[in-house]
Amino acid sequence: MKLLLLVLLVLLLLVYSDPFRVGATPVLLVPSPAFSPNSPVSATMAAPTVAYSPGVGEAGQRHSMDSHRKILIALIVACTTLGAIISSLLGLWIYHCKCSRKPHRRTGRSSDGEKGLSLNPFFAQFNSSRMIGKKGSVSLVDYKLLEKGTENFRESNILGVGGFGRVYRAQMDDNLIVAVKKIECQSHDAEKEFQNEVDLLSRIQHPNIISLLGCCSQGDARFIVYELMQNGSLETQLHGPSHGSALTWHMRMKIALDTARGLEYLHEHCHPSVIHRDLKTSNILLDANFNAKLSDFGLAVADGTQNKNNIKLSGTLGYVAPEYLLDGKLTDKSDVYAFGVVLLELLLGRRPVEKLAPAQCQSIVTWAMPQLTDRSKLPNIVDPVIKDTMDLKHLYQVAAVAVLCVQPEPSYRPLITDVLHSLIPLVPVELGGTLRVTQLVVSVGSAVHSDH
């Protein structure tokens, strides 16, 4: 294109500078009669020369000039037309490349999904249930169907209790069992969280994020229908009646890996990226096979949200990152901090905040940090349920990841993608990692015993 513009410029200069007239009419001098085509002459002598003589052959010269100008004008028009055609073709080619090119980040489908991880089969089943229409891409569920499925929201069907309502077990048509969150929208915050969660989950599909099946409005109440997670929340499994007895070391590492995959999808593959803002064990749900899925997106924030740093402080004590708690600064590293706390819960079997006295509490981060970096003390604070079941080397690796995630300074924390790649080698192949268990592991108990 630059070369074409240069040619056009030269041609224009030739037209308007009129090299055939420099103060006089140019006359082409022909060789003298003594000249013979067969006579040996130099190249310079054979070449015609130009002299200037006023008033000689003006009509012929004007005719010659007109011919030259017509030729130049024709060339300019031809070049201009050719340039326009080339520009159009180039523009179409660039547009085609942009449309066909798939961006590496924030594509709306994670790399895990592309590797063949199955999405939830609930969608196909749930569509057979009785619907009353759609709101955008979200199915609107008949309220009477929810009322019937929960036995008029009977207390015995309560699965959990949240900030603005309760979650019920519901048996729908065709014996399909789902979870129904009932939100009492008597405040602006409750309505806002309902709208936010429905909007986000309607655009998200990932194996490690809870599936939205539909929603419903009835008076001041709002309802969100999800797939049922048979093993409840990670909080219940760790701190409930079983005290984590169903969760082996490898199962806990699988849950950590699933959680990291869900967060990576939000941070790296959603457009715009999403900050969960309320990651905790009660919002990590487990299906029948203990696959972990992130839930409760009422407080989630899109990375492009205006005045993100001025968002109302929300979250759960013990999981909230220091910079967000003290300065209101919210980034994806805030989710990484919360993930580190969850990892400590899986490792130690302790709650994020424990009461030492009626008016005194202690954070798991504050309590564990000095011992996490001491290899001689670390084995003694591991959850007794798994203490004798893991490779000591793997224990040190997980502790190192947790320490990095809960660093007070956000810039020192890793990206969730780095955390994900650190955990994959610690999870057996059959549970979604790359670890091949070919020999007996060195347990923590035996390793500690051998040290003494």
Question: Per-residue pLDDT tens for 278-301?
Answer: 999 999 999 999 999 999 999 999
CB atoms within 10 A of CB 347: 26
| Same domain, yes or no: 432 and 357 | yes
How is 396-437 classified by DSSP, letter by letter?
A: HHHHHHHHHHT-SSGGGSPPHHHHHHHHGGGSBGGGTS-B--
| Same domain, yes or no: 326 and 190 | no
| Same domain, yes or no: 354 and 431 | yes
Evaluate whether residue 385 is within a structural domain: yes
- In our burial notation (b when 16+ CB lie closer than 10 A, e otherwise), range 145-177 reads bbbebbeebeeebebbebebbbbbbbebeeebe
**Euclidean distance between CA atoms 405 and 341, whole angstroms:** 8
| Same domain, yes or no: 255 and 189 | no
Q: Return the structure tokens found at 43.
A: 């190249």
Measured CA to CA in angstroms, residue 189 lies from 126, 183, 184, 216 at distances of 29, 11, 10, 18
Evaluate whether residue 95 is within a structural domain: no
Evaluate whether residue 363 is within a structural domain: yes
Q: Domain range spanning residue 378? A: 234-451
Work out the pLDDT band at 379, boundaries 50, 70, 90: very high
**Coil, strand or helix: which one is 444?**
helix
**What pLDDT, on the 0 to 100 scale, is given for residue 256?**
98
Looking at the chain, the number of H-run helices and the number of E-run strands are 16, 15
pLDDT digits (tens, 9 = 90+) for 4-49: 555 555 555 554 454 444 444 443 433 444 434 444 433 333 444 4
Q: Which of 112, 258, 278, 332 is catalytic?
A: 278
Q: Which residue shows structure tokens 């013979």?
A: 36
Count the domains in the chain. 2
Measured CA to CA in angstroms, residue 426 lies from 253, 259, 347, 417 at distances of 7, 14, 13, 15
Residue ending a domain, among 208, 227, 246, is 227
| Same domain, yes or no: 145 and 248 | no
**Nearest in space to 160 (alpha carbons), one of 234, 247, 212, 220:** 234
| Same domain, yes or no: 379 and 421 | yes
| Same domain, yes or no: 171 and 148 | yes
Evaluate whether residue 106 is within a structural domain: no
| Same domain, yes or no: 207 and 276 | no
**What pLDDT, on the 0 to 100 scale, is given for residue 120?**
44
88-111 mean pLDDT: 48
Evaluate whether residue 194 is within a structural domain: yes
Q: Residue 375 pLDDT > 90, yes or no?
A: yes
Backbone angles phi, psi at 232, to 5 degrees: 65, -150
Least confident of 50-59, 181-190, 286-295: 50-59
| Same domain, yes or no: 273 and 401 | yes
**Euclidean distance between CA atoms 364 and 190, whole angstroms:** 30
**Euclidean distance between CA atoms 280 and 259, whole angstroms:** 10
251-276 mean pLDDT: 97
**Euclidean distance between CA atoms 396 and 214, whole angstroms:** 43
**Euclidean distance between CA atoms 387 and 249, whole angstroms:** 9
155-161 mean pLDDT: 93
Give Cα 447 distance to the centre of its chain: 41
Residue ending a domain, among 186, 208, 227, is 227
Q: What is the dihedral of CA 247, 248, 250, 251, to 10 degrees?
A: -20
**Coil, strand or helix: which one is 440?**
coil
Evaluate whether residue 403 is within a structural domain: yes
Evaluate whether residue 146 is within a structural domain: yes
Least confident of 40-49, 132-141, 240-249, 430-439: 40-49
Work out the pLDDT band at 117, boundaries 50, 70, 90: very low
Evaluate whether residue 306 is within a structural domain: yes
Measured CA to CA in angstroms, residue 370 lies from 111, 224, 374, 381, 403 at distances of 37, 43, 7, 11, 10
Assess contact for 395 and 382: CB atoms under 8 A: yes
| Same domain, yes or no: 361 and 385 | yes
Q: Return the structure tokens found at 143.
A: 């309220």
| Same domain, yes or no: 287 and 431 | yes
| Same domain, yes or no: 217 and 298 | no
pLDDT > 70 fraction of the chain, expressed in percent and rounded: 65
What is the domain-level CATH number for residue 288?
Answer: 1.10.510.10
The yes-or-no answer on residue 451 being catalytic is: no
Q: Residue 170 pLDDT > 80, yes or no?
A: yes
What is the domain-level CATH number for residue 215?
Answer: 3.30.200.20
H-run or E-run covering 87: helix 58-100
Assess contact for 56 and 25: CB atoms under 8 A: yes
162-177 mean pLDDT: 88
**Nearest in space to 263 (alpha carbons), one of 410, 407, 415, 113:** 415
Backbone angles phi, psi at 159, to 5 degrees: -100, -30
Contact partners, residue 295, CB within 8 Å, separation at least 6: 209, 210, 226, 229, 283, 284, 285
pTM: 0.70
Assess contact for 150 and 221: CB atoms under 8 A: no
**Euclidean distance between CA atoms 404 and 400, whole angstroms:** 6
Residue ending a domain, among 177, 202, 227, is 227
